[in-house]
Amino acid sequence: MNPTIGWIRQLAESWGVPGVLVPLVPFLVLLAVLYAVIGLAAYGAKRKWPRADKTIAFWLFISPWLIGFLVFTVGPMLSSVYVSLTSWDLITPPKYVGIANYTEAFQDPRVAQAIKVTLLYALISVPLQTALAFLVALLMNVDLPGIRLFRTIWYLPSLVSGVAQIVLFLWVFNPQYGLANDLLGKAGIEGPGWFNDASWALPTVILMSLWTVGGAMVIYLAGLKDVPSNLYEAAALDGAGVVRLFWHITLPQLSPIILFNVLTGIIGALQIFTQGFIANGGPKDSLLFFVYYLYDNAFQNFRMGYASALAWILFVIIMALTAVTLRGSAFAVYYETELGGRRRPRLRKG
């Protein structure tokens, strides 16, 4: 523990602050000092340039984010670079080892396995989810009586998420008592071992992820409602059929939303953790997702340096996949600038 922080804590304890609140005191003191400095600076600035109140207000308003950015993002990022070059178990002081962590990571067969499993998951589940969500949204966009009830039913599973969802599906796919194998058995098929079978575990997780496709469906549905109907009317007058309407109007109009969902989907899929944790990495490391392996190294084996190196490798993978997706999408995504004589405000970068 930092000596200054320890001193503040001792002071708080001697003043009779309740034990639960003691850790908060150093934090609040640091924050108070920080804001005192900011407040003084703002006061001084206001005295000196009385007409700059807008500028001062802007900096004050973003100061929570700015401080958080420095304390929880920039600072940790810089120290993460350093930690990744050390060997550190949190107890003994960190020892500088150069790029040894990275060379170890490139030779570690479990890292290779983790990258393989995670990439496979992302590259299979994201397109599947996107396609399914989009098709379902198209289906739900038809104006039928009772369609709102169907929308609710298909969305409902998305509310069972995280640990509860995995616990449920561990039982749905239980080889002996589970729902899936019982149904398959009635159809005369002997079901696989699902989570217990090394070659089936990953497909099972992908299948499970399709269950919560409702969340993305609602986003596409909102997008479909936003497509101006005069486009369809004009094209239909020109003799376009259903397929061409879909291909030349629906798809281009929704392409920015699809891109947004694919991007967030890829980033989310590469950070999958809970499934691997609950399954303990799965049989024969078949569910050894990258973040789970990172967590395992950092908080089970206390290899902070190695875990930091892994985090940077993950960062590079995410950046690379994002860049590839953005490059690949450049010709496929249509950003409208003008529509029906009415200019839409574009997202301004400033």
Minimum Å gap between C-beta 287 and other proteins is: 15
Is 249 a binder of other proteins (CB under 8 A)? no
What is the CA 121 to chain-centroid distance, rounded?
14
Is 111 a binder of other proteins (CB under 8 A)? no
Is 340 a binder of other proteins (CB under 8 A)? no
Minimum Å gap between C-beta 1 and other proteins is: 6
- Give CA separation, 75 vs 5, 42, 303, 331, in Å: 18, 24, 20, 38
In angstroms, the CA 107 to CA 111 distance is 8
CB-based contacts of 210: which residues, under 8 Å, 6+ apart?
125, 128, 129, 132
Within residues 207-246, the interface with other proteins by CB under 8 A covers: 211, 214-215, 218-220, 222-223, 226
Is 266 a binder of other proteins (CB under 8 A)? no
Minimum Å gap between C-beta 344 and other proteins is: 9
Stretch in the footprint of other proteins (CB under 8 A) among 107-115, 118-126, 199-207, 313-321: 313-321
Within residues 124-183, the interface with other proteins by CB under 8 A covers: 136, 139, 142-145, 147, 150, 152-157, 159-164, 167-172, 176-177, 179, 182-183
**Which residue is associated with the tokens 């967590």?**
295
Query: The dihedral of CA 284, 167, 185, 187: what is its sign?
Result: negative
Minimum Å gap between C-beta 256 and other proteins is: 5
Minimum Å gap between C-beta 34 and other proteins is: 11
Closer Cβ to other proteins, 123 or 163, answer by number: 163
Stretch in the footprint of other proteins (CB under 8 A) among 32-40, 102-110, 113-121, 295-303: 295-303
**Element (DSSP H or E) covering residue 95:** strand 95-96
3-class secondary structure, 173 = coil
Residue from 168, 302, 299, 152 nearest 291 by CA? 299
In angstroms, the CA 193 to CA 191 distance is 7
Strand partners of residue 96: 86
Binding-site member from 15, 16, 18, 20 for other proteins (CB under 8 A): 20
Q: How many residues bind other proteins (CB under 8 A)?
A: 104
Binding-site member from 7, 32, 49, 76 for other proteins (CB under 8 A): 76
Tokens representing 72? 């929880």
Binding-site member from 259, 266, 269, 287 for other proteins (CB under 8 A): 259
Is 35 a binder of other proteins (CB under 8 A)? no
Q: Nearest 5°: CA angle at 73, between 346 and 305?
A: 135
